[in-house]
Amino acid sequence: MLFGFLVLLVCQFCGEIIVRYLDLPFPSPVVGMVILLAGLIMHGEVPKGIRQASEGLLSYLALLFVPAGVGLMVHYQLIAADGLTILTALILSTAITLLVTGVILDRLAKNKITQEQ
Amino acid sequence: MDELNTLWVYLSASPLLSIMVTIIGFLIASHINRMAGGSAFLHPVIVAIALIVAFLTLVGTSYEQYFEGAQFIHFLLGPATVALAIPLFDHLERVKQMFWPLIIACISGIFTAALSTIAIVIAMGGSRETVLSLTPKSVTSPIAMGIAEKIGGYPSLTAGLVLVTGAIGCVIGPIMFRWLKIEDHSVQGFTMGLAAHGFGTAQSFTVSSIAGAFAGLAMGLTGMLSAFILPLLVRFLGI
């Protein structure tokens, strides 16, 4: 468990170094995720400790978003001014995005499966 | 009374209080959500944020002071993102099999999310800062904050709006899948992860592990590709 947590941190750390060194536009944890995935593919299976640590963290994923979200309180003036626009844009755009992505992937995936059969 | 005051000053400066407030807020929010029958309208994260903001305003604590302690919880978001590699590895065969459809759907989704947001905000007369803070709304918060900073939005506003987007996605997603008759869990998961990032991923894990794995993949892929696409798109549109 502790070893697993260390592996996650080391992957994030390596991600951090790569992002800094290559001046990449994306955050280090995502690069860390790619590193861990590559490591797991090479190793061929997930060591028990890493699985335990990961499942522990992922089961509380929602809680981890709370501190950043409370930051909304800093922007109450802008939210008050553009509130309706923001809410409309969020709802409509999310619906359209779900629709387009879902339909495209569903069609493409079905085609692919029929092709292979 | 003076002693109580000194104690309060001491406590509000230690991370203990912020961490406790965050966890208590989340537990109460989860309880409220369960009582409401797990309705995504009362998403535990959104309810928790509302409760905590109300509490901080009531006791007169600033966000900076709160975050000083809450950053220890925030920090775990990093290793949790790395941990998404595990469900991905578990379903690697299915991912390989669907590789090109996933890439095509992902790029279409990124453009749809960004262009529809920009169009709606501009049509409704929102300010330039609002447009730019909203553009990365479907991207997972750590990446979205970086993109907002790069294109000229407010990173902290983006972080909050990203969460609201996630909650909205959790409400609309299941309704949309029923309406469009999308039953494949991998398609559902990927779509949720793309439009509603971490929230969609957390919700997809409650549907099935394969939905969760695809949602995590979509979240990572959308984040990485958006980091390249969105700054170029904004420059191209001349916003």
- Whether A7 and A32 have beta carbons less than 8 Å apart is answered as no
pLDDT band at A117 (very low <50, low <70, confident <90, very high): low
Residues of the domain holding A8: 1-61
Complex ipTM > 0.85: yes
Of B113, B85, B97, give the one whose Cα is nearest residue B217. Answer: B85
Higher model confidence: residue B75 or residue A117?
B75
User: Are A57 and A113 in a shared domain?
Assistant: no
The answer on pLDDT for B83 being more than 70 is yes
- Residue A116 is predicted with a pLDDT of 64
From A61, A88, A107, give the residue that closes a domain.
A61
Give CA–CA dist B28/B49, Å, rounded: 11
Identify whether residues A56 and A83 lie together within a single domain: no
Does A35 share its domain with A74? no
Q: Which two tokens stand for residue B219?
A: 């979240």
Q: Is A36 on the interface with B (CB under 8 A)?
A: yes
Among the residue ranges A53-57, A111-115, B26-30, the one predicted with the least confidence is A111-115
- Chain A with chain B: Cβ pairs closer than 8 A: 310
Q: What is the mean pLDDT of chain B?
A: 88
Residue A48 shares a structural domain with residue A72: no
- A45 and A87 within one domain: no
What separation in angstroms does the CA of A22 have from each of A16, A18, A33, A93? 10, 6, 17, 33
The pLDDT of residue A93 is above 80: yes
Q: Supply A43's token pair.
A: 């190793």
Residue A81 and residue A27 share a domain: no
- The token pair at B121 is 């905000």
Question: Do A54 and A75 share a domain, yes or no?
Answer: no
- Count of Cβ atoms closer than 10 Å to residue A22 Cβ: 9
Q: Does residue A23 sit in the same domain as residue A43?
A: yes
Share of chain A above pLDDT 90, in %: 53
Buried-state track A92-109, b at ≥16 Cβ within 10 A, e below 16: ebbbbbbbbbbbbbbebb
- The count of domains in chain A is 2
**Cβ within 8 Å of B, A 38-67:** 40-41, 46, 50-51, 53-55, 57-58, 60-67
Confidence at residue A105, expressed as pLDDT on a 0 to 100 scale:
93
Name the residue of chain B whose CA is nearest to A86's CA: B121
Same domain, A31 and A86: no
